[in-house]
Structure 1
């Protein structure tokens, strides 16, 4: 059994739309980058966990995706596990790699995520997201969201009325949560625009982000309506990408230089529960577990990557992670505490809203970003003195919260 578990290799490509690339090609590239970053050859790997959600749906590659990926680049014989946990798949792969090393079953393990979602048939891409909900009760879920939304006292301006289609169902779920928050706590659409504008600024400093253009608060508000109060600039784009991390035991690390290694102080995976909107959120519950495991509190976190498939996602998670009191995520964002140079920068990568959100790779992209921050390798978006960093990655939706969620806390060695 390994007392401590470390990340020694990180790899990522720019998230974008790649009409001429496939899942296999992107996965190969980030695996090679991560191995080079760790200073390892492929034969050092003793196990691998591969995260992907839509390859089977789009290209009919089911069941043995990870084995196909790795064998086609010469990595054979080792145990390979395929991971599918919706948007939390990448961080779940890391959690399983951590468990494997922690249990003493292997010393060097690969966590890999790759996804191709862009497609000439736009509605095929957008429709695929519905598979991350309870498909057997899909209509019932839609009706539930509609009924809940009717109970909110939120006036929707006529010019902000949402279009009837052309969006992922998750945008409706986030819009419902945002309207609840507005009704319950007085949050405004402008609060969401402040968060989105901040993330567009961060992404303008990130060469691996899908969107790299800054946007003002006014430009975010004036962008195309998606589902009130969300505009397009507040929502994550459709795109492709891959990311990877190599995890090792303390025994293995003792044989090597540890100057760039990152200690995994906490790795927590959990599932959602049936609750109403006023009940305890999965993020609050898992954050408490992660902080206890790491022996730290919210105020100890130098920076964080939070699951912001929309700007409301970041607002909600800053509260759930304990960075600010419940209900105060909007005003907290306006203080610029979550902006580079602020008290606790959030989504320095640009977040899912701007860095991009290729489902199976997103959780590992968060780890890549906080890894750069802790190593002091983030360039113009570096958080000064970063020592502890948190990544929260939610996946799917059942009821009023995520179906799955992972939280990791990393420490600079």
Structure 2
């Protein structure tokens, strides 16, 4: 099995992309990624497209084949990867498999979603289709699950409501350093605490926005990577896991089983542990998810992640910087692109390309969550040695 390297990465501007559609966004990221690596279209053997709902959002299917044409990578094998909001992380897993297995020596992964042309109600309805049909029929949405879980967490672990606001404040501050982020403005705890209620106790600033955008990564065997550059990252560990679709069937709603299982397998594969991770990108679609993933990945003891957040340990200058990109909260959450964009951020941190948000990092971790923890992919990357 080949050691797999990432030799190129790109990310479009996230936000409201007026007059541009899913194929425009995918092509923009794909072309930029190939340019970043100095690789020609003819060298691409596999093309994976992470996308959750282009059919539902804009009536466009077959995006992987159309993108292969637009990028001139024919006759590359193409495949669309749909794993709900963890489609991007699943794309990383699929791209890693294609190279590690020896099936491809150059695999391009592009993730994207076009969402903002639909109303908030329409977009929420598309996303809510992730839930169990019975839950969906009764009007349950992911924000409602988040509110119920946040209330349970705060009461069970005697955590102050302000702890969640600290997550939002930190990620907004990080977002100001990311030129691709949808929101590039700082907020304070008071602003977050006084924003409109959405799903008690969660308020507006506890939620990520609806977003358009795309991101891309280029994978190859490590021996091939050295032919192109000395600055690359390798996939040290990657794993996926699936939890119950029906949230109330879980023994503990504050434990995300998919995070625990995928994290454990990724650690075992890489030979690293949580103490070795220098920077992490976590799926903060809701602020409470940052706490649940920190604990599921053993960055914090059960019920203590909120203390790390309030003590500044997860800030840019803390012991474990989390969501240096601004996270989904500030950077934005174009469903199929989010996991790929997490990989983009970890890659940039490891090769020293993160600019104003650069931290000292040799090992990075990304955790991409589908639904309310229904499926999870954890990826550990390390800088070239």
Q: Given the two structures, how large is their TM-score scaled by the length of structure 2? A: 0.95
| Structure 2 counterparts to residues 2-401 of structure 1, below 5 A | 2=2, 4-62=3-61, 64-135=62-133, 137-139=135-137, 142=140, 169-257=141-229, 259-273=230-244, 274-277=249-252, 281-383=257-359, 385-397=360-372
Kept in 1, the 8 Å contact 2:283–2:289? The answer is yes
Kept in 1, the 8 Å contact 2:42–2:72? The answer is no
Query: How far does residue 140 in structure 1 lie from its aligned partner after superposition?
Result: 6.1
Kept in 2, the 8 Å contact 1:113–1:243? The answer is yes
Separation in structure 1 between the aligned mates of residue 14 and residue 312 of structure 2, nearest angstrom = 26
**Which stretch of the first structure deviates more once superposed, 268-277 or 20-29?**
268-277
Q: Gaps spanning 5+ residues in structure 2: where?
A: none
Kept in 2, the 8 Å contact 1:54–1:117? The answer is no
Whose radius of gyration is greater, 1 or 2?
A: 1
Separation in structure 2 between the aligned mates of residue 300 and residue 230 of structure 1, nearest angstrom = 32
List per-residue Cα deviations over 1:36-66 (Å, max 9, x = no partner). 111101111000111111210122223x221
Kept in 2, the 8 Å contact 1:85–1:92? The answer is yes
Kept in 2, the 8 Å contact 1:44–1:108? The answer is yes
Between the two proteins, the alignment pairs up a number of residues equal to 379
Separation in structure 1 between the aligned mates of residue 225 and residue 353 of structure 2, nearest angstrom = 21
Kept in 2, the 8 Å contact 1:119–1:125? The answer is no
List per-residue Cα deviations over 1:276-320 (Å, max 9, x = no partner). 226672212221111111101111100100000011111111111
Query: How far does residue 136 in structure 1 lie from its aligned partner after superposition?
Result: 5.2
Separation in structure 1 between the aligned mates of residue 157 and residue 94 of structure 2, nearest angstrom = 38
Query: How far does residue 137 in structure 1 lie from its aligned partner after superposition?
Result: 4.8
Separation in structure 1 between the aligned mates of residue 170 and residue 99 of structure 2, nearest angstrom = 37
List per-residue Cα deviations over 1:262-285 (Å, max 9, x = no partner). 010011111113522266722122
Separation in structure 1 between the aligned mates of residue 345 and residue 135 of structure 2, nearest angstrom = 36
Q: CA RMSD in A?
A: 1.5
Q: Gaps spanning 5+ residues in structure 1: where?
A: 143-168
Separation in structure 2 between the aligned mates of residue 44 and residue 185 of structure 1, nearest angstrom = 53
Query: How far does residue 76 in structure 1 lie from its aligned partner after superposition?
Result: 1.7
Separation in structure 2 between the aligned mates of residue 327 and residue 305 of structure 1, nearest angstrom = 20
Separation in structure 2 between the aligned mates of residue 256 and residue 355 of structure 1, nearest angstrom = 30
List per-residue Cα deviations over 1:321-350 (Å, max 9, x = no partner). 111101011111111010011100000011
Query: How far does residue 364 in structure 1 lie from its aligned partner after superposition?
Result: 0.5
